[in-house]
Chain A
């Protein structure tokens, strides 16, 4: 596999996003509205206690700021279902390029672009909420967050890809995305840290990879996990990425046998 062509695709994806930077910024700003309720809600829950399940009030506020920023940037829908439906995929079947790697290159550019353009917004929020945040001074925490975020990007991309490829079997599989997105967000801990969920729900979450795309990242960043658990979490991310990649490749091969290039 020649990496140069995928690097060029990454560059194309970055430039495409640059064209729609205002649109991206507005979306990030709108996502921040949810922080208002989260801030007041947890202020109310913490009114007569110092900690809940090991989280201080400052840690909870920091949790939502970082998880909100990360998910607004790295959890992006990809157009696989639409491209299968419209026959767009056909173009890549006759070219010396892998469609899966093509999609990954563009998707990676999109997600990294949003991480970068979201930084000023994140900085603004950090300044506004500075008195309510948990300070993270350990430089290693930033490195762990970077590594874990990369693992999370891969897992989320592969899940998106697999769901999108369901279009090979039934029309309008976009509807499935709405459902899976909600499940992913929930078990990643965007609504509430996974460790605060009822035990039975946590048990379900343990069998899914999504915990390692949200709560794990923030707990690692805030130093809530010992080094051994961080290493274990990163290893779990790698195993899930490998499993999902194998599943995606198998689904792609089987799906292509059913592909009718309708609309191409």
Chain B
């Protein structure tokens, strides 16, 4: 399917989802308020820690604020786009509803990445996240390297989406509705500087479920604390996860038995 057709579908999905959200406008504002309160509480949590210590894993408060902002930004982008689609996968497989999508002339994993997007949910969180990043960068006093940050952020999103796809594919073999929840809990480990972890756990979070590359590298890139070698490593990791995720999806899809058919 051509990019132009995907863009057209993307626009139609966005319009449909906005109309759906406007149907429950009060709920939208409550959810937005709740999300912002959640973010505030996480910030207060770290503030409480920094009242007792000056560094966490060698990171000062300003760098942790950038890390938190990056975490919120990636979470917002992911939940506003692909997570909603892949979250529905266990149910679709169980009921055989996946047939509806498989018979359409569209690549399923790409379509699921935007079909249930939430363009309204996106903005308040992104604004707060960007605000946190800007505040943290300002407080750090270090020269800001925005382009480098955006490159690493793009790599982070590719790895994050690939991980979501990889966890989702488990459902083709055995339906576990909590797979996305498990992926989310693992990714939450990246809310903290990767340097707090030790030994096998750190290795696992750097290579197997690389939350280190997703959340810890972009903040370091922003304040010029990341070497070119590390950045290159992140690009390679993103490429590996992208291709591995897609290949695993293609193999797993063949296991789909279509309970309706």
Interface residues of A (CB under 8 A from B): 23, 26-27, 30-31, 33-34, 36-37, 40-41, 43-45, 52-53, 170-176, 178-179, 182-183, 186, 191-192, 196-198, 201
B contacts with A, residue count (CB < 8 A): 38
Is the C-beta of B191 less than 8 angstroms from some C-beta in chain A?
yes
A-side binding surface: helix, strand, loop or mixed? helix
Contact across chains for A182 and B38 when beta carbons are under 8 A apart:
yes
How far apart sit A44 and B57, CA to CA, in the bound complex (Å)? 6
Q: Nearest 5 pairs between A and B by C-beta?
A: A179-B34, A172-B27, A175-B27, A33-B185, A175-B30
| Chain B 30-65 interface 0/1 with A at a Cβ cutoff of 8 Å (1 = within) | 110111011001101101110111001100000000
How far apart sit A176 and B52, CA to CA, in the bound complex (Å)? 33
Contact across chains for A170 and B26 when beta carbons are under 8 A apart:
yes
How far apart sit A40 and B42, CA to CA, in the bound complex (Å)? 17
Which residues in A have their C-beta under 8 angstroms from that of B151? none
Residue with the highest number of chain A CB atoms closer than 10 Å, among B30, B44, B47, B178: B30
Contact across chains for A37 and B191 when beta carbons are under 8 A apart:
yes
Which residues in B have their C-beta under 8 angstroms from that of A34? 185, 188
Contact across chains for A37 and B188 when beta carbons are under 8 A apart:
yes
Is the C-beta of B201 less than 8 angstroms from some C-beta in chain A?
yes
Which residues in A have their C-beta under 8 angstroms from that of B49? 41, 45, 192
B-side binding surface: helix, strand, loop or mixed? helix
Contact across chains for A41 and B56 when beta carbons are under 8 A apart:
yes
Contact across chains for B201 and A40 when beta carbons are under 8 A apart:
yes
Chain A: CB-nearest residue to B34: A179
Which chain B residues numbered 103 to 160 have a C-beta less than 8 Å away from chain A? Answer: none
Which chain B residues numbered 199 to 222 have a C-beta less than 8 Å away from chain A? Answer: 201
Contact across chains for B48 and A192 when beta carbons are under 8 A apart:
yes
How far apart sit A192 and B30, CA to CA, in the bound complex (Å)? 25
Which residues in B have their C-beta under 8 angstroms from that of A36? 189, 197, 201
Which of B24, B47, B56 touches A171 (beta carbons < 8 Å)? B24
